[in-house]
Amino acid sequence: MSETKFLMFNHGYAFAAEFLYASSLAFFLQPFMRMGRYRWRKGAAVFAAYLFLSWICDRLAAPRGTFVLTVTLLLTAGAGVLDLERPRAFLLGLLYWETRVNSGLIADSLYFAAEQVLPCRSVAPEEVYLQTALRLTLLLLSHAAMFITMLYAFCRRLKRRPLPLGRLEICYISLVPAAGILFGQIIAGLLFEIRDGELLQLYERHPAFVAAVPILALLFYAGSYLTILFQQGMAALQEEQAAGFVERQQTRAIRARIHEAEQFYSRIRQLKHEMRGHLTNIQGLVQSKEYAEVEEYISRLDESMSGFELTLRTGNPVTDVIINDRRRQCQEMGIRFQVEFHYPQSGHYDAFDVGIILQNLLQNALEACEKVPESERFLTLAGKRKGSFFLIEVRNSFSGEIAFGRDGLPETAKKADAPMHGIGLSNVRRIAEKYMGEMEISLEDRVFRITVMVQET
């Protein structure tokens, strides 16, 4: 290989490396962008912006680390355009750079070791250029393989479970990647040094670094990965605790309503005993021809009986009180409410589990109906048995758009006390899975439908 061809190879090598880094960043960010229809366009924009910034920094001969800082800051500032949360964009930028730096250090160590094991013995310039070009090609390929594999591992871990990123969490998770980037930048600055006109390599001066540097790079990478894993585990534990707390609160509320229902039936029995006396009083007033008093007496009696309105009977006191409560709310809000629900008599289901399902589904439906014009509000509840399965279906009107989270559930629009909201449907799905069932959500013509299937255990 001639010197001219080797120079051309060097230019091509530099471009291939930048192409690899730009495309890797674009592909790494894409799975976390919320607007799926425009992901490829946004990925292409990231790719082009990266190459442009790389060219600018190269032209300006910017100091080491300037490009890293610039890309990370611009990525964070432009998070809204990319449909990324700003803390997530910042974290993804740090993880990208840490992976690139650490994989590069490992590849450089392997390249130096290969040079020592297979030195270039030829003195002919053409042979030296050719062997150098081959080694650089192997260096780029090995770096690309490690870099893409390590990025993919980060991407898969982050996609497996949503990671809450408050200020404290982002500071905690960013410590190890930031330290890894700083370590890599320091080592990269020490790899080559010119002294008395002679080029000295770090690994030649300190051979122990050939093994120490890649080990430290792997430790930084593993530290970042385990930090994310630990934080996800903590978030999962907090979600379980919050879900358990909500379920206990709902169970307590249902028990209280059952107690009220028991009092209701007690008052009905008491009224039956009192009714003979009321009829005697009415008969006396009629005999005395006190018709105005009769009308007033009946009016007062009607008022006293207005509270005895448990009109829907499902076959279970738990579901009775929940459905009748929601029926009264629907009447107050002007929502057309249709019910065709009968509690399964098989005895294979815990009534409180069925009650929690109904309470969450109907409450979410009522909140959705509030945002719809009163003339369009409707809510239907159906419960039917199909073989060994029991199906619960709720349909309701809704307006606007519903955004779904990575867990496949609608995202809550409530900002206040956000950690406690959005748990209801998670509890419903958990109860469905408890009975070897599932939950299905569908949207069609401004109608939200959710179906829960539970199986006899």
What number of other Cβ atoms are within 10 A of residue 377's Cβ? 21
> Is the domain of 89 the same as that of 224?
yes
> Is the domain of 373 the same as that of 225?
no
- What is the residue range of 412's domain? 311-457
> Is the domain of 226 the same as that of 329?
no
pLDDT of residue 393: 93
Any domain includes 285: no
Any domain includes 143: yes
Boundary of a domain, candidates 212, 245, 278 = 245
Name the average pLDDT for the chain.
79
> Is the domain of 222 the same as that of 331?
no
> Is the domain of 332 the same as that of 193?
no
> Is the domain of 155 the same as that of 231?
yes
Tens digits of residue pLDDT in 270-307:
666 566 666 776 777 777 777 677 677 777 666 555 55
Q: CA angle, 279 as apex, 277 and 285 as ends, to 5°? A: 105
Any domain includes 90: yes
Any domain includes 444: yes
Any domain includes 146: yes
Structural tokens at position 168? 């404290």
Structural domains of the chain, count: 2
> Is the domain of 326 the same as that of 411?
yes
Q: Higher pLDDT residue, 207 or 423? A: 207
Boundary of a domain, candidates 187, 217, 245 = 245
Under the banding of pLDDT at 50, 70 and 90, the label for residue 151 is very high
Structural tokens at position 26? 């674009």
Please, are residues 436 and 372 in contact by the beta-carbon 8 Å criterion? no
> Is the domain of 232 the same as that of 321?
no
Range scoring the smallest mean pLDDT among 23-32, 34-43, 394-403: 34-43
> Is the domain of 71 the same as that of 191?
yes
pLDDT of residue 154: 92
> Is the domain of 238 the same as that of 120?
yes
Any domain includes 46: yes
pLDDT of residue 161: 79
Tens digits of residue pLDDT in 213-267:
889 999 999 999 999 998 888 877 777 776 666 667 667 766 766 666 666 566 6
pTM above 0.75, yes or no: no
pLDDT of residue 419: 40
Any domain includes 302: no
Any domain includes 236: yes
Separation of alpha carbons 210 and 86, rounded Å: 38
Boundary of a domain, candidates 217, 245, 273 = 245
Tens digits of residue pLDDT in 420-445:
345 678 888 888 888 888 899 888 88
**CATH code: domain of residue 406:** 3.30.565.10
Ranges 315-329, 340-354, 360-374, most confident = 360-374
pLDDT of residue 431: 86
